Amino acid sequence: MVNKVYNNRAWLLVLPMLALVAFSAIIPLMTVVNYSVQDVFDANTRFFTGIEWFERTLNDAGLQAALLRQFAFSFTVLAIQVPLGIGIALLMPKRGWQASAVLILITLPLLIPWNVVGSIWQIFTRGDIGLMGVGLRELGYGYNITRNPVDAWATIVLMDVWHWTPLIALLCYSGLRSIPEAYYQAARIDRASKWAVFRYIQLPKLTNVLVIGVLLRFMHSFMIYAEPFVLTGGGPGSSTTFLSQSLATMAIGQQDLGPSAAFSLIYFLIILLVCWVFYTAIMNMQKDKAERGGV
């Protein structure tokens, strides 16, 4: 028999971490949970409501529409940004001053604050003074983001693509740079086509950075708030009202603390769930590959 000595002092070492997490995550989250199950009138008057706010949130037709819109938006921008980002990374110069110049140019949109991006595009698309607004009208297209939902949608998607495609491009660029020159030479000697080089040399190297890129971009785009808020204010009607804006209207505009707390929790869980599913799927894919020996 081996006599194991249990030393419970180890728990003491966990305490600081626990305290930190409590302040940074658990306590704020519990406040929200607290509100989500009560109807609060003032500091002394409150009623326990159970899951009523959750039921109401889930059955709210406006919120359901916003959720669908949110998914549609995230998928649209991802579907555009991922291939476009890869394409840009492939076309970027590999060395010399051109490489530095292009890197700086590409990075610029990433450095602009969300609100400013919204303002830039708000002015850019104005029918009276905006370059794009006036330009499209001159070309004979009756472009108007305050009237036409399609125009508003297209503009928000375009804005997001402009703002965030560089992130994918940068990630892919760094991935591509890590491929030794000898691989390309060997492919040339094999007389491999450009497509074969991409498919069998470059893409396998990019999978890891793309997983990170897609996860980041999904979370980002799913939480989008400031840019459409400044650009369209969620309109025309509610055609560009995404989840964050619905939440803000509810919590700050209408002071519906209970329902917005329930809504916040559901919102948080959806993001967590989608990321988890996505991450697990990718990891399983890689495990399969690793078992077969690929990377």
How far apart are CB 103 and another protein at their closest, in Å? 24
How far apart are CB 183 and another protein at their closest, in Å? 6
Q: What are phi and psi of 46, to 5 degrees?
A: -155, 150
Cβ burial of 281 (10 Å; 0-12, 13-18, 19+) is exposed
Sketch the per residue contact string, 164 through 183, with another protein: x for CB under 8 A, - otherwise. Answer: ----------------x-xx
Residue ranges of E strands in the chain = 38-40, 46-48
Q: How far apart are CA 48 and CA 279, in angstroms?
A: 37
How far apart are CB 9 and another protein at their closest, in Å? 43
Residue 189 near another protein by CB under 8 A: yes
Whole-angstrom CA distances from 227 to 112, 135, 197, 232, 258 are 11, 22, 38, 8, 27
Region binding another protein by CB under 8 A among candidate stretches 109-117, 129-137, 191-199, 256-264: 191-199
Whether residue 93 has a cis bond before it, omega within 30° of 0: no
The DSSP output letter for 40 is E
Count residues near another protein (CB under 8 A): 20
Of these, 28, 93, 253, 294, which contacts another protein (CB under 8 A)?
294
Tell me the β-bridge partners of 40: 46
Residue closer to another protein, measured from CB, 12 or 182:
182
Sketch the per residue contact string, 44 through 63, with another protein: x for CB under 8 A, - otherwise. Answer: --------------------
Region binding another protein by CB under 8 A among candidate stretches 20-28, 101-109, 113-121, 194-202: 194-202
Residue 193 near another protein by CB under 8 A: yes
Sketch the per residue contact string, 225 through 264, with another protein: x for CB under 8 A, - otherwise. Answer: ----------------------------------------
The closest of 221, 256, 230 to 69, measured between CA atoms, is 221
- Residue 39, classed as helix, strand or coil, is strand
- Of 203-222, binders to another protein (CB under 8 A) are 204
- Token pair 């070492």: residue: 13
How far apart are CB 30 and another protein at their closest, in Å? 47
How far apart are CB 273 and another protein at their closest, in Å? 30
Q: How far apart are CA 261 and CA 269, in angstroms?
A: 12
Residue 95 near another protein by CB under 8 A: no
Give the side-chain half-sphere CA count within 13 A for 179.
20
Tell me the β-bridge partners of 39: 47
Which tokens sit at 119? Answer: 């303002």
Residue closer to another protein, measured from CB, 129 or 182:
182
Of these, 190, 194, 268, 276, which contacts another protein (CB under 8 A)?
190
Q: How many CB atoms lie within 10 A of CB 218?
A: 18
Q: How far apart are CA 128 and CA 60, in angstroms?
A: 38
Of these, 20, 21, 196, 277, which contacts another protein (CB under 8 A)?
196
Residue closer to another protein, measured from CB, 196 or 273:
196
**Which residues are near another protein by CB under 8 A?**
180, 182-183, 185-186, 188-193, 196, 200-201, 204, 289, 292-295
